[in-house]
Amino acid sequence: MSKMSKTESKTEPKNPPSTETPCENGLIPEDSCEATEDLARILEARMAEAQKRAAELQAENSELKDQYLRKLADYENFRKRLFREKDDAVQFANTALLQDLLGILDDFDRAISSSEVSRDFQLLHDGIGMVRNRMLSTLEGKYGLARYESAGASFDPNVHEAVAMEKGAVPEPVVSEEFQKGYKLHGRVLRAARVKVRMPDGTAAGPEGDGKAGGPAQN
């Protein structure tokens, strides 16, 4: 009988665990429970605010990323356009000049065709002279090209290139002959004139007297 009681007591079901919170079952004072609940509500509100802010920042980041990619694409297009315009400027910088030269080239063709028909040397000579004058006038008037004379002028290494020399009765170096004319572009030497220079031989009068250079003074 006693054995049966012991067995029955062992098989009796245990009480289920309580589902009440410590605040509900009175384990924690009521004031502490209220403070805990307030803190929990504050934390939940802040968590919700943080999640909202995170979503806003993520959206803002996505928008900034899209703007950056658009700006980058615009910059690449601008850079390509700039290089293309630069290449075009270099390739077609002489367009206006070449258009003017085409008209002069047409004049040469007409002069040659006319001379082939007439076989007149004088006519060809005059035609080429007219074309030459037109070309020079165009280059001087529209492009700032200027031709300068050198024969008889004092030798200036800034505008003259001496390719030959001779001695003569001159007080200072003088251009005695011009082999190739010189040109300036807007006042700057574009091509120096190729000249022969006459150098002093010591027989010409000096700039301060009529006697020969180096000779004894006359009484």
Report whether pLDDT(197) > 70.
Answer: yes
Domain boundaries, the chain: 25-93, 94-143, 145-207
More confident site: 145 or 212? 145
168 contact partners, CB below 8 Å, separation of at least 6:
174, 176, 198, 199, 200, 201
Indicate the SS3 state at residue 171: coil
Question: What would the mean pLDDT of 142-163 be, rounded to a whole number?
Answer: 94
| pLDDT tens-place string over residues 24-60 | 555 566 666 777 777 888 888 899 999 999 999 999 9
Q: Which is it for strands 193-200 and 182-185: parallel, antiparallel or unpaired?
A: unpaired
Q: Return the number of other C-beta atoms located less than 10 Å from residue 4's C-beta.
A: 8
Stretch 133-153: mean pLDDT = 92
Q: Which amino acid is at 87?
A: D
Q: Is the pLDDT confidence value at 139 over 80?
A: yes
pLDDT, average across residues 52-72: 91
Lowest pLDDT segment from 118-132, 151-165, 184-198: 118-132
Query: With respect to CATH, is domain 145-207 assigned 3.40.190.10?
Result: no
Average pLDDT over residues 147-175: 94
> Strand 160-168 relative to strand 193-200: parallel, antiparallel, unpaired?
parallel
Share of the chain above pLDDT 90, in %: 41
pLDDT of residue 213: 43
Q: How would residue 163 be classed by pLDDT, with cut points 50, 70 and 90? A: very high
**CA–CA gap between residue 217 and residue 215 (Å, rounded):** 7
The Cα–Cα gap between 174 and 215 comes to: 22
Selection from 136, 127, 202 nearest residue 168 by Cα? 202
Tokens 């001087």 correspond to what residue?
A: 140
Q: What is the pTM of this model?
A: 0.55
Give me the mean pLDDT over the 207-212 stretch: 49
CA 218 to chain centre: 70
